Structure 1
Amino acid sequence: MFSVSFIRGSEVNLTCSNKTWNDMIFVIWNITLQTKKNCQIGYSNGKSVDFCKDGKSLRNTSSALSYLHISKFSDSDEGLYKCHSVYKGGIDHYSHLSCVVFPVPPSTSAWLDRKDNKMVAVCRAERGKPAASITWSLTGNISSKETSSNGFFTVESRLELLEGMDTENLSCVIRHQNSTEKIMSFALKHEKGQAFAIRLHI
Protein backbone atom coordinates (compact mmCIF):
# COMPACT_ATOMS: atom_id res chain seq x y z
CA MET A 1 0.00 0.00 0.00
CA PHE A 2 1.23 3.47 -0.73
CA SER A 3 -0.12 6.96 -0.34
CA VAL A 4 -0.72 9.37 -3.17
CA SER A 5 -2.06 12.90 -3.03
CA PHE A 6 -3.83 15.09 -5.52
CA ILE A 7 -4.83 18.70 -5.94
CA ARG A 8 -8.52 19.46 -5.57
CA GLY A 9 -10.20 19.63 -8.97
CA SER A 10 -7.38 17.84 -10.79
CA GLU A 11 -7.81 14.99 -13.23
CA VAL A 12 -6.61 11.72 -11.70
CA ASN A 13 -5.70 8.40 -13.32
CA LEU A 14 -4.89 5.36 -11.16
CA THR A 15 -3.18 2.39 -12.80
CA CYS A 16 -3.70 -1.15 -11.58
CA SER A 17 -1.41 -3.12 -13.86
CA ASN A 18 0.94 -2.72 -16.80
CA LYS A 19 -0.90 -5.43 -18.70
CA THR A 20 -2.95 -4.59 -21.80
CA TRP A 21 -6.60 -5.42 -22.36
CA ASN A 22 -5.55 -8.31 -24.59
CA ASP A 23 -3.90 -9.98 -21.58
CA MET A 24 -6.48 -9.02 -18.96
CA ILE A 25 -9.09 -11.51 -17.74
CA PHE A 26 -10.65 -9.11 -15.25
CA VAL A 27 -9.81 -6.02 -13.20
CA ILE A 28 -11.77 -4.83 -10.17
CA TRP A 29 -11.35 -1.62 -8.16
CA ASN A 30 -12.72 -1.91 -4.61
CA ILE A 31 -13.15 1.61 -3.26
CA THR A 32 -13.77 2.58 0.36
CA LEU A 33 -14.41 6.31 0.63
CA GLN A 34 -14.08 8.42 3.78
CA THR A 35 -17.79 9.11 3.44
CA LYS A 36 -18.20 5.41 4.43
CA LYS A 37 -19.37 4.54 0.93
CA ASN A 38 -18.08 1.25 -0.52
CA CYS A 39 -18.33 0.51 -4.22
CA GLN A 40 -16.76 -1.34 -7.14
CA ILE A 41 -15.73 -0.44 -10.66
CA GLY A 42 -14.24 -2.96 -13.02
CA TYR A 43 -14.23 -5.21 -16.04
CA SER A 44 -15.14 -8.87 -15.85
CA ASN A 45 -16.23 -11.51 -18.35
CA GLY A 46 -16.21 -9.02 -21.16
CA LYS A 47 -18.50 -6.56 -19.34
CA SER A 48 -17.91 -3.31 -17.48
CA VAL A 49 -19.39 -2.93 -14.00
CA ASP A 50 -19.91 0.35 -12.12
CA PHE A 51 -21.52 0.29 -8.69
CA CYS A 52 -20.09 3.68 -7.69
CA LYS A 53 -22.22 5.79 -10.05
CA ASP A 54 -20.33 8.95 -9.13
CA GLY A 55 -18.45 9.81 -12.31
CA LYS A 56 -15.45 7.52 -11.89
CA SER A 57 -14.80 5.34 -14.92
CA LEU A 58 -12.55 2.56 -16.17
CA ARG A 59 -10.66 3.60 -19.29
CA ASN A 60 -7.76 2.47 -21.40
CA THR A 61 -4.85 4.29 -23.01
CA SER A 62 -4.05 4.28 -26.71
CA SER A 63 -1.77 1.33 -26.00
CA ALA A 64 -4.68 -0.54 -24.32
CA LEU A 65 -3.50 -0.15 -20.69
CA SER A 66 -6.33 -0.02 -18.16
CA TYR A 67 -6.72 2.78 -15.61
CA LEU A 68 -9.31 4.25 -13.26
CA HIS A 69 -10.26 7.79 -14.24
CA ILE A 70 -11.53 10.53 -11.89
CA SER A 71 -12.28 13.70 -13.81
CA LYS A 72 -12.20 16.17 -10.89
CA PHE A 73 -10.79 14.90 -7.62
CA SER A 74 -12.68 16.27 -4.61
CA ASP A 75 -13.24 15.70 -0.88
CA SER A 76 -15.79 12.99 -1.65
CA ASP A 77 -13.13 10.98 -3.52
CA GLU A 78 -10.84 10.61 -0.50
CA GLY A 79 -10.44 7.02 0.56
CA LEU A 80 -8.79 3.66 0.00
CA TYR A 81 -8.55 2.32 -3.55
CA LYS A 82 -7.71 -1.38 -3.88
CA CYS A 83 -7.19 -2.96 -7.27
CA HIS A 84 -7.25 -6.66 -8.09
CA SER A 85 -6.47 -7.82 -11.60
CA VAL A 86 -6.05 -11.21 -13.19
CA TYR A 87 -4.25 -11.60 -16.48
CA LYS A 88 -2.97 -14.44 -18.59
CA GLY A 89 -0.11 -15.84 -16.55
CA GLY A 90 -0.54 -14.01 -13.25
CA ILE A 91 -2.34 -11.84 -10.70
CA ASP A 92 -1.68 -8.25 -9.61
CA HIS A 93 -2.77 -6.56 -6.37
CA TYR A 94 -2.38 -2.82 -5.77
CA SER A 95 -3.59 -0.56 -2.98
CA HIS A 96 -3.64 3.22 -3.23
CA LEU A 97 -4.27 5.19 -0.05
CA SER A 98 -5.61 8.31 -1.67
CA CYS A 99 -5.93 11.62 0.11
CA VAL A 100 -6.68 15.12 -1.04
CA VAL A 101 -3.88 17.54 -0.22
CA PHE A 102 -5.09 20.98 -1.06
CA PRO A 103 -5.10 24.05 1.15
CA VAL A 104 -8.42 25.50 2.23
CA PRO A 105 -7.70 28.94 3.70
CA PRO A 106 -9.34 29.45 7.09
CA SER A 107 -11.76 32.20 8.00
CA THR A 108 -9.88 34.48 10.36
CA SER A 109 -10.97 36.71 13.21
CA ALA A 110 -9.42 38.48 16.17
CA TRP A 111 -10.81 40.33 19.12
CA LEU A 112 -10.07 41.50 22.64
CA ASP A 113 -11.79 39.66 25.43
CA ARG A 114 -11.92 40.08 29.19
CA LYS A 115 -11.32 37.25 31.65
CA ASP A 116 -11.17 37.67 35.42
CA ASN A 117 -10.67 41.44 35.03
CA LYS A 118 -7.77 40.80 32.63
CA MET A 119 -7.59 41.68 28.96
CA VAL A 120 -7.06 38.72 26.60
CA ALA A 121 -6.17 38.95 22.92
CA VAL A 122 -7.84 36.21 20.87
CA CYS A 123 -6.85 35.07 17.40
CA ARG A 124 -8.81 32.40 15.49
CA ALA A 125 -8.35 30.55 12.20
CA GLU A 126 -11.57 28.71 11.45
CA ARG A 127 -12.31 25.74 9.15
CA GLY A 128 -8.99 25.56 7.34
CA LYS A 129 -7.35 22.52 5.79
CA PRO A 130 -4.76 21.65 6.96
CA ALA A 131 -4.72 23.37 10.35
CA ALA A 132 -3.24 26.85 10.47
CA SER A 133 -0.54 27.85 12.93
CA ILE A 134 -0.82 30.91 15.15
CA THR A 135 2.08 32.78 16.76
CA TRP A 136 2.36 36.00 18.72
CA SER A 137 4.93 38.77 18.60
CA LEU A 138 5.05 38.82 22.41
CA THR A 139 5.64 36.03 24.86
CA GLY A 140 3.36 35.48 27.80
CA ASN A 141 0.53 33.32 29.07
CA ILE A 142 -0.64 31.75 25.79
CA SER A 143 -3.22 29.00 25.47
CA SER A 144 -4.19 27.33 22.21
CA LYS A 145 -6.97 24.98 21.22
CA GLU A 146 -7.48 22.99 18.01
CA THR A 147 -10.72 21.30 16.98
CA SER A 148 -11.74 19.47 13.83
CA SER A 149 -15.00 18.80 12.04
CA ASN A 150 -15.50 16.95 8.74
CA GLY A 151 -11.81 17.17 7.95
CA PHE A 152 -11.53 20.93 8.58
CA PHE A 153 -9.62 22.47 11.46
CA THR A 154 -10.24 25.44 13.73
CA VAL A 155 -7.37 26.85 15.77
CA GLU A 156 -7.81 29.47 18.48
CA SER A 157 -5.00 31.11 20.43
CA ARG A 158 -5.42 33.37 23.45
CA LEU A 159 -2.78 35.67 24.91
CA GLU A 160 -3.31 37.19 28.33
CA LEU A 161 -2.29 40.87 28.35
CA LEU A 162 -0.50 41.51 31.60
CA GLU A 163 -0.39 44.85 33.36
CA GLY A 164 2.40 46.95 31.93
CA MET A 165 2.83 44.83 28.81
CA ASP A 166 3.83 46.86 25.75
CA THR A 167 0.97 46.06 23.39
CA GLU A 168 1.58 48.87 20.92
CA ASN A 169 3.16 46.50 18.41
CA LEU A 170 1.35 43.33 19.45
CA SER A 171 0.67 41.12 16.47
CA CYS A 172 -0.92 37.76 15.83
CA VAL A 173 0.41 35.87 12.81
CA ILE A 174 -1.69 33.17 11.16
CA ARG A 175 0.20 30.99 8.71
CA HIS A 176 -1.48 28.54 6.42
CA GLN A 177 -0.24 26.23 3.71
CA ASN A 178 -0.76 27.59 0.22
CA SER A 179 1.08 28.03 -3.03
CA THR A 180 0.99 31.81 -2.68
CA GLU A 181 1.43 34.18 0.24
CA LYS A 182 -0.76 37.14 0.98
CA ILE A 183 -0.37 39.48 3.94
CA MET A 184 -3.40 41.20 5.39
CA SER A 185 -3.04 43.77 8.18
CA PHE A 186 -5.62 45.50 10.29
CA ALA A 187 -5.87 46.87 13.79
CA LEU A 188 -8.28 46.73 16.69
CA LYS A 189 -8.27 49.15 19.61
CA HIS A 190 -9.47 48.51 23.12
CA GLU A 191 -10.66 51.15 25.54
CA LYS A 192 -7.15 52.37 26.35
CA GLY A 193 -6.49 53.12 22.71
CA GLN A 194 -3.81 50.46 22.30
CA ALA A 195 -3.49 48.91 18.86
CA PHE A 196 -3.79 45.18 18.28
CA ALA A 197 -2.59 44.17 14.82
CA ILE A 198 -3.21 40.90 13.01
CA ARG A 199 -1.13 39.72 10.09
CA LEU A 200 -2.41 36.84 7.98
CA HIS A 201 -0.08 34.72 5.85
CA ILE A 202 -1.98 32.46 3.43
Structure 2
Amino acid sequence: MERKLVLRVVLLFAVCLTRSLASGTDGKTSLHSNKTLPRSTSTNERLTVYRNEYAELGTTVTLNCTNTKIAWRDMFFVIWKIHLQDKECMIAVAKNDSDYDTCQDGKKLNRTSEGTYHLIIPNFSVQDEGNYTCDISYQSGGSVENIKVSAFARPDLSGWLESEHGHTVAVCEAKGKSAASIHWETPWNSSSPIIQASKTQDKLFTVISRLHLPRHASHTNLTCSATANDSKHTKTRFSSFTFRDTHVKWPTILVGVCATCSIVALLTGFYIMRKNVIALSVFRKICCKPDISASNEEKPQQPYDPEELQPYASYVQRVNSIYNSSAELFNA
Protein backbone atom coordinates (compact mmCIF):
# COMPACT_ATOMS: atom_id res chain seq x y z
CA MET A 1 0.00 0.00 0.00
CA GLU A 2 2.80 2.37 0.90
CA ARG A 3 4.61 1.55 -2.35
CA LYS A 4 1.57 2.49 -4.43
CA LEU A 5 1.28 5.81 -2.60
CA VAL A 6 4.94 6.62 -3.24
CA LEU A 7 4.57 5.78 -6.93
CA ARG A 8 1.55 8.09 -7.23
CA VAL A 9 3.45 10.96 -5.60
CA VAL A 10 6.44 10.48 -7.92
CA LEU A 11 4.20 10.33 -11.00
CA LEU A 12 2.34 13.48 -9.95
CA PHE A 13 5.64 15.31 -9.40
CA ALA A 14 6.91 14.26 -12.84
CA VAL A 15 3.75 15.57 -14.54
CA CYS A 16 4.01 18.92 -12.76
CA LEU A 17 7.70 19.23 -13.66
CA THR A 18 6.98 18.49 -17.34
CA ARG A 19 4.29 21.17 -17.50
CA SER A 20 6.59 23.67 -15.84
CA LEU A 21 9.33 23.04 -18.40
CA ALA A 22 6.87 23.27 -21.29
CA SER A 23 5.48 26.64 -20.19
CA GLY A 24 8.90 28.20 -19.62
CA THR A 25 11.42 28.59 -16.83
CA ASP A 26 10.73 31.01 -13.95
CA GLY A 27 7.74 32.50 -15.73
CA LYS A 28 9.77 33.91 -18.66
CA THR A 29 7.94 34.74 -21.93
CA SER A 30 9.66 34.34 -25.31
CA LEU A 31 8.74 36.16 -28.52
CA HIS A 32 11.20 34.37 -30.78
CA SER A 33 10.91 30.64 -30.03
CA ASN A 34 9.44 28.90 -33.10
CA LYS A 35 8.13 32.33 -34.28
CA THR A 36 4.92 31.88 -32.25
CA LEU A 37 3.15 34.50 -30.20
CA PRO A 38 2.87 34.12 -26.41
CA ARG A 39 -0.48 33.58 -24.74
CA SER A 40 -1.74 35.27 -21.65
CA THR A 41 -1.11 33.31 -18.43
CA SER A 42 -3.99 34.99 -16.68
CA THR A 43 -7.18 33.06 -16.07
CA ASN A 44 -9.27 36.25 -16.15
CA GLU A 45 -11.46 36.96 -19.16
CA ARG A 46 -9.76 39.07 -21.87
CA LEU A 47 -11.74 42.07 -23.10
CA THR A 48 -11.87 42.82 -26.86
CA VAL A 49 -12.58 46.40 -27.96
CA TYR A 50 -13.23 47.78 -31.48
CA ARG A 51 -12.82 51.44 -32.39
CA ASN A 52 -12.13 53.78 -35.31
CA GLU A 53 -9.54 56.54 -35.39
CA TYR A 54 -8.65 59.16 -38.00
CA ALA A 55 -5.17 60.46 -38.71
CA GLU A 56 -4.24 63.57 -40.65
CA LEU A 57 -1.80 63.07 -43.49
CA GLY A 58 1.75 64.20 -42.79
CA THR A 59 1.40 64.22 -39.00
CA THR A 60 2.80 61.98 -36.25
CA VAL A 61 0.09 59.64 -34.98
CA THR A 62 0.00 58.09 -31.50
CA LEU A 63 -2.20 55.03 -30.96
CA ASN A 64 -2.98 54.13 -27.36
CA CYS A 65 -3.24 50.43 -26.62
CA THR A 66 -5.36 50.72 -23.48
CA ASN A 67 -6.55 53.40 -21.10
CA THR A 68 -5.51 51.25 -18.14
CA LYS A 69 -2.15 52.18 -16.64
CA ILE A 70 -0.04 49.10 -16.01
CA ALA A 71 3.33 49.10 -14.27
CA TRP A 72 6.14 47.48 -16.24
CA ARG A 73 6.87 45.07 -13.38
CA ASP A 74 3.34 43.64 -13.78
CA MET A 75 3.54 43.39 -17.57
CA PHE A 76 3.98 40.18 -19.57
CA PHE A 77 3.95 41.48 -23.15
CA VAL A 78 2.50 44.07 -25.59
CA ILE A 79 1.99 43.02 -29.20
CA TRP A 80 0.87 45.24 -32.11
CA LYS A 81 -0.36 43.28 -35.14
CA ILE A 82 -0.57 45.61 -38.15
CA HIS A 83 -2.56 44.79 -41.30
CA LEU A 84 -1.98 47.36 -44.08
CA GLN A 85 -2.96 47.46 -47.74
CA ASP A 86 0.30 46.03 -49.04
CA LYS A 87 1.85 44.24 -46.05
CA GLU A 88 1.39 42.71 -42.61
CA CYS A 89 3.87 43.08 -39.77
CA MET A 90 4.23 42.96 -35.99
CA ILE A 91 5.88 45.02 -33.24
CA ALA A 92 6.15 43.57 -29.73
CA VAL A 93 7.90 43.96 -26.38
CA ALA A 94 8.06 41.49 -23.47
CA LYS A 95 9.25 41.84 -19.94
CA ASN A 96 11.95 39.18 -20.12
CA ASP A 97 12.80 39.23 -23.82
CA SER A 98 14.21 41.53 -26.49
CA ASP A 99 12.06 43.76 -28.67
CA TYR A 100 10.51 42.37 -31.84
CA ASP A 101 9.89 44.39 -35.04
CA THR A 102 9.11 43.08 -38.52
CA CYS A 103 7.73 46.36 -39.89
CA GLN A 104 11.02 48.25 -40.17
CA ASP A 105 9.31 51.39 -41.49
CA GLY A 106 9.73 53.89 -38.67
CA LYS A 107 6.88 52.72 -36.46
CA LYS A 108 7.87 52.07 -32.87
CA LEU A 109 6.32 51.02 -29.58
CA ASN A 110 6.76 53.51 -26.78
CA ARG A 111 6.22 52.84 -23.07
CA THR A 112 6.25 55.52 -20.39
CA SER A 113 7.03 55.52 -16.71
CA GLU A 114 3.35 56.20 -15.99
CA GLY A 115 2.44 52.78 -17.35
CA THR A 116 1.04 53.71 -20.79
CA TYR A 117 1.94 51.91 -24.02
CA HIS A 118 1.68 53.69 -27.40
CA LEU A 119 2.41 52.94 -31.02
CA ILE A 120 4.10 55.89 -32.76
CA ILE A 121 3.55 56.34 -36.53
CA PRO A 122 5.69 59.18 -37.95
CA ASN A 123 4.63 61.14 -41.05
CA PHE A 124 1.35 59.31 -41.53
CA SER A 125 0.57 58.55 -45.19
CA VAL A 126 -2.10 56.78 -47.20
CA GLN A 127 0.01 53.60 -47.09
CA ASP A 128 -0.36 53.55 -43.27
CA GLU A 129 -4.13 53.13 -43.42
CA GLY A 130 -5.31 49.76 -42.10
CA ASN A 131 -6.18 47.70 -39.03
CA TYR A 132 -4.03 47.87 -35.90
CA THR A 133 -4.59 45.21 -33.21
CA CYS A 134 -3.04 45.64 -29.78
CA ASP A 135 -2.75 42.50 -27.62
CA ILE A 136 -1.66 43.30 -24.06
CA SER A 137 -1.23 40.85 -21.17
CA TYR A 138 -0.30 41.50 -17.54
CA GLN A 139 -0.61 39.77 -14.18
CA SER A 140 -4.15 40.84 -13.36
CA GLY A 141 -5.60 40.43 -16.85
CA GLY A 142 -5.31 41.46 -20.47
CA SER A 143 -7.14 43.05 -23.39
CA VAL A 144 -7.28 43.15 -27.16
CA GLU A 145 -8.07 46.37 -29.05
CA ASN A 146 -8.83 46.41 -32.77
CA ILE A 147 -8.32 49.91 -34.21
CA LYS A 148 -9.24 50.86 -37.76
CA VAL A 149 -7.12 53.87 -38.76
CA SER A 150 -8.22 56.02 -41.71
CA ALA A 151 -6.39 58.99 -43.20
CA PHE A 152 -7.85 62.42 -43.79
CA ALA A 153 -6.41 65.65 -45.17
CA ARG A 154 -7.52 69.24 -44.98
CA PRO A 155 -8.15 70.63 -48.46
CA ASP A 156 -5.23 72.66 -49.80
CA LEU A 157 -7.12 75.77 -50.87
CA SER A 158 -5.92 78.62 -53.11
CA GLY A 159 -7.60 81.35 -55.14
CA TRP A 160 -7.03 84.19 -57.59
CA LEU A 161 -8.78 86.62 -59.96
CA GLU A 162 -8.83 86.61 -63.75
CA SER A 163 -10.15 88.96 -66.43
CA GLU A 164 -12.34 87.27 -69.03
CA HIS A 165 -13.97 89.30 -71.84
CA GLY A 166 -14.01 92.39 -69.65
CA HIS A 167 -15.53 90.58 -66.65
CA THR A 168 -13.82 89.63 -63.40
CA VAL A 169 -13.75 85.91 -62.60
CA ALA A 170 -12.87 84.53 -59.16
CA VAL A 171 -11.19 81.11 -59.19
CA CYS A 172 -10.97 78.79 -56.18
CA GLU A 173 -8.90 75.57 -56.31
CA ALA A 174 -9.02 72.79 -53.70
CA LYS A 175 -6.62 69.81 -53.60
CA GLY A 176 -6.94 66.86 -51.25
CA LYS A 177 -7.37 63.15 -50.66
CA SER A 178 -11.08 63.42 -51.47
CA ALA A 179 -13.01 65.65 -53.86
CA ALA A 180 -13.87 68.71 -51.79
CA SER A 181 -17.12 70.68 -51.98
CA ILE A 182 -16.52 74.38 -52.69
CA HIS A 183 -18.98 77.00 -51.47
CA TRP A 184 -18.89 80.76 -52.22
CA GLU A 185 -19.79 83.43 -49.67
CA THR A 186 -20.71 86.73 -51.40
CA PRO A 187 -22.56 89.91 -50.33
CA TRP A 188 -24.66 89.69 -53.52
CA ASN A 189 -26.82 87.01 -55.11
CA SER A 190 -24.25 85.06 -57.05
CA SER A 191 -24.88 82.86 -60.05
CA SER A 192 -24.02 79.17 -60.14
CA PRO A 193 -20.25 78.68 -60.41
CA ILE A 194 -18.56 76.43 -62.95
CA ILE A 195 -17.08 73.32 -61.31
CA GLN A 196 -14.26 71.18 -62.69
CA ALA A 197 -12.87 68.08 -60.94
CA SER A 198 -9.91 65.84 -61.78
CA LYS A 199 -7.76 63.14 -60.17
CA THR A 200 -3.98 62.87 -60.31
CA GLN A 201 -1.80 59.77 -60.43
CA ASP A 202 -1.09 60.22 -56.70
CA LYS A 203 -4.80 59.59 -55.98
CA LEU A 204 -5.32 63.24 -55.07
CA PHE A 205 -8.37 65.17 -56.23
CA THR A 206 -8.34 68.70 -57.66
CA VAL A 207 -11.56 70.72 -57.74
CA ILE A 208 -11.72 74.16 -59.44
CA SER A 209 -14.68 76.52 -59.06
CA ARG A 210 -15.02 79.65 -61.25
CA LEU A 211 -17.41 82.42 -60.21
CA HIS A 212 -18.26 85.38 -62.49
CA LEU A 213 -18.49 88.59 -60.49
CA PRO A 214 -21.12 91.23 -61.35
CA ARG A 215 -19.92 94.50 -62.89
CA HIS A 216 -18.50 97.02 -60.42
CA ALA A 217 -18.58 94.35 -57.68
CA SER A 218 -15.70 94.37 -55.20
CA HIS A 219 -13.84 91.20 -54.36
CA THR A 220 -12.79 92.38 -50.91
CA ASN A 221 -15.75 90.65 -49.23
CA LEU A 222 -15.47 87.50 -51.34
CA THR A 223 -14.75 84.18 -49.59
CA CYS A 224 -14.63 80.58 -50.77
CA SER A 225 -14.67 77.58 -48.45
CA ALA A 226 -13.84 73.93 -49.18
CA THR A 227 -15.18 70.98 -47.18
CA ALA A 228 -13.55 67.56 -47.48
CA ASN A 229 -15.92 64.76 -48.41
CA ASP A 230 -14.65 62.32 -45.78
CA SER A 231 -15.62 61.25 -42.30
CA LYS A 232 -13.97 64.27 -40.66
CA HIS A 233 -15.51 66.89 -43.01
CA THR A 234 -12.65 69.31 -42.40
CA LYS A 235 -13.24 72.82 -43.71
CA THR A 236 -10.83 75.42 -45.11
CA ARG A 237 -11.53 79.07 -46.03
CA PHE A 238 -9.82 81.47 -48.43
CA SER A 239 -10.44 85.20 -48.97
CA SER A 240 -7.17 86.82 -50.15
CA PHE A 241 -7.97 87.15 -53.85
CA THR A 242 -5.56 88.97 -56.19
CA PHE A 243 -5.32 89.23 -59.97
CA ARG A 244 -3.30 86.65 -61.83
CA ASP A 245 -4.14 87.61 -65.43
CA THR A 246 -1.90 85.68 -67.79
CA HIS A 247 -3.58 87.31 -70.85
CA VAL A 248 -1.84 90.61 -70.06
CA LYS A 249 1.53 89.24 -69.07
CA TRP A 250 2.22 87.06 -72.10
CA PRO A 251 2.03 89.82 -74.78
CA THR A 252 4.28 92.01 -72.66
CA ILE A 253 6.79 89.22 -72.32
CA LEU A 254 6.67 88.50 -76.07
CA VAL A 255 7.24 92.17 -76.96
CA GLY A 256 10.22 92.31 -74.63
CA VAL A 257 11.70 89.14 -76.09
CA CYS A 258 11.24 90.38 -79.69
CA ALA A 259 12.80 93.76 -78.89
CA THR A 260 15.79 92.09 -77.25
CA CYS A 261 16.29 89.77 -80.23
CA SER A 262 16.11 92.72 -82.66
CA ILE A 263 18.74 94.69 -80.74
CA VAL A 264 21.03 91.67 -80.57
CA ALA A 265 20.63 91.03 -84.32
CA LEU A 266 21.35 94.70 -85.15
CA LEU A 267 24.49 94.80 -83.03
CA THR A 268 25.64 91.53 -84.55
CA GLY A 269 25.16 92.95 -88.06
CA PHE A 270 27.18 96.08 -87.21
CA TYR A 271 29.94 93.94 -85.78
CA ILE A 272 30.10 91.75 -88.88
CA MET A 273 30.13 94.79 -91.23
CA ARG A 274 32.87 96.45 -89.22
CA LYS A 275 34.89 93.28 -89.30
CA ASN A 276 34.50 93.01 -93.09
CA VAL A 277 35.57 96.67 -93.60
CA ILE A 278 38.67 96.16 -91.50
CA ALA A 279 39.48 92.99 -93.42
CA LEU A 280 39.02 94.83 -96.78
CA SER A 281 41.34 97.68 -95.80
CA VAL A 282 43.98 95.24 -94.66
CA PHE A 283 43.53 93.34 -97.93
CA ARG A 284 44.09 96.54 -99.92
CA LYS A 285 47.24 97.32 -98.00
CA ILE A 286 48.55 93.85 -98.57
CA CYS A 287 47.63 93.80 -102.30
CA CYS A 288 48.62 97.31 -103.31
CA LYS A 289 51.92 97.58 -101.52
CA PRO A 290 53.73 94.98 -103.68
CA ASP A 291 52.47 96.71 -106.90
CA ILE A 292 53.97 100.06 -105.91
CA SER A 293 57.26 98.54 -104.99
CA ALA A 294 57.25 96.54 -108.19
CA SER A 295 56.62 99.65 -110.31
CA ASN A 296 59.49 101.37 -108.57
CA GLU A 297 61.73 98.43 -109.24
CA GLU A 298 60.69 98.17 -112.93
CA LYS A 299 61.29 101.91 -113.68
CA PRO A 300 64.50 102.26 -115.89
CA GLN A 301 67.42 104.00 -114.31
CA GLN A 302 68.19 107.41 -115.96
CA PRO A 303 71.78 108.10 -117.17
CA TYR A 304 73.90 110.38 -115.09
CA ASP A 305 73.69 114.05 -116.21
CA PRO A 306 76.02 116.49 -114.56
CA GLU A 307 73.80 119.41 -115.54
CA GLU A 308 70.98 117.98 -113.44
CA LEU A 309 73.27 118.10 -110.46
CA GLN A 310 74.37 121.75 -111.18
CA PRO A 311 71.51 123.37 -113.08
CA TYR A 312 72.32 126.99 -112.07
CA ALA A 313 75.97 126.90 -113.15
CA SER A 314 75.11 125.40 -116.49
CA TYR A 315 72.44 128.05 -117.05
CA VAL A 316 74.85 130.93 -116.29
CA GLN A 317 77.48 129.46 -118.58
CA ARG A 318 75.05 129.28 -121.48
CA VAL A 319 73.79 132.78 -120.94
CA ASN A 320 77.36 134.13 -120.93
CA SER A 321 78.22 132.33 -124.14
CA ILE A 322 75.18 133.79 -125.88
CA TYR A 323 76.00 137.26 -124.57
CA ASN A 324 79.59 137.08 -125.82
CA SER A 325 78.47 135.95 -129.25
CA SER A 326 76.08 138.87 -129.55
CA ALA A 327 78.75 141.39 -128.55
CA GLU A 328 81.17 140.11 -131.12
CA LEU A 329 78.50 140.41 -133.81
CA PHE A 330 77.79 144.04 -133.04
CA ASN A 331 81.51 144.97 -132.88
CA ALA A 332 82.11 143.51 -136.26
- TM-score scaled by structure 1? 0.62
Tell me the residue number matched to 2:286: none
Is 1:123 the counterpart of 2:174? The answer is: no
Tell me the residue number matched to 2:215: 167
Tell me the residue number matched to 2:157: 106
Matched residue of 2:241: which SS?
Answer: strand
Once residues 182 and 158 of structure 1 are traced to their aligned partners in structure 2, the CA distance between those partners, rounded to angstroms, is: 14
Is 1:185 the counterpart of 2:241? The answer is: yes
Note if contact 1:133-1:174 (Cα within 8 Å) is conserved in structure 2.
yes
Note if contact 1:143-1:157 (Cα within 8 Å) is conserved in structure 2.
yes
Note if contact 1:12-1:69 (Cα within 8 Å) is conserved in structure 2.
yes
Q: Find 1:97's aligned residue among 144, 148, 152.
A: 148
Query: Which amino acid in 2 is paired with 1:169?
Result: A
TM-aligned CA distance change 1:62 to 1:136, over 3 Å: closer
Deviation at 1:113, TM superposition (A): 6.7
Note if contact 1:105-1:129 (Cα within 8 Å) is conserved in structure 2.
no
Gaps of 5+ in 1: 192-202
Once residues 108 and 192 of structure 2 are traced to their aligned partners in structure 1, the CA distance between those partners, rounded to angstroms, is: 54
Is 1:52 the counterpart of 2:103? The answer is: yes
Q: Deviations over 1:23-56 (max 9, x none)?
A: 33332112234x6343211125723211111222
Tell me the residue number matched to 2:63: 14
TM-aligned CA distance change 1:111 to 1:166, over 3 Å: closer
Note if contact 1:59-1:66 (Cα within 8 Å) is conserved in structure 2.
yes
Note if contact 1:5-1:98 (Cα within 8 Å) is conserved in structure 2.
yes
TM-aligned CA distance change 1:111 to 1:86, over 3 Å: same
Once residues 65 and 173 of structure 1 are traced to their aligned partners in structure 2, the CA distance between those partners, rounded to angstroms, is: 45
Tell me the residue number matched to 1:153: 205
Query: Which amino acid in 2 is paired with 1:50?
Result: D
Once residues 182 and 173 of structure 2 are traced to their aligned partners in structure 1, the CA distance between those partners, rounded to angstroms, is: 8
Runs of 4 or more, structure 1, over 6 Å off, are: 177-182, 188-191
Note if contact 1:21-1:65 (Cα within 8 Å) is conserved in structure 2.
no
- The structure in which a higher percent of residues are strand is 1
Deviation at 1:10, TM superposition (A): 5.2
Deviation at 1:184, TM superposition (A): 1.6
Note if contact 2:157-2:237 (Cα within 8 Å) is conserved in structure 1.
no
TM-aligned CA distance change 1:127 to 1:9, over 3 Å: closer
Once residues 216 and 75 of structure 2 are traced to their aligned partners in structure 1, the CA distance between those partners, rounded to angstroms, is: 71
Deviation at 1:142, TM superposition (A): 3.5
Once residues 91 and 136 of structure 1 are traced to their aligned partners in structure 2, the CA distance between those partners, rounded to angstroms, is: 53
Mean Cα displacement is larger for which, 137-146 or 91-100?
A: 137-146
TM-aligned CA distance change 1:99 to 1:109, over 3 Å: farther
- TM-score scaled by structure 2? 0.42
Deviation at 1:83, TM superposition (A): 1.0
Q: Deviations over 1:151-192 (max 9, x none)?
A: 633112245x6xxx943327564324799976422236799x
Larger Rg: 1 or 2? 2
Tell me the residue number matched to 1:139: 190
Tell me the residue number matched to 1:200: none
Tell me the residue number matched to 1:31: 82
**What is the aligned residue count?**
180
Tell me the residue number matched to 1:80: 131
Once residues 136 and 110 of structure 1 are traced to their aligned partners in structure 2, the CA distance between those partners, rounded to angstroms, is: 15
Deviation at 1:81, TM superposition (A): 2.0
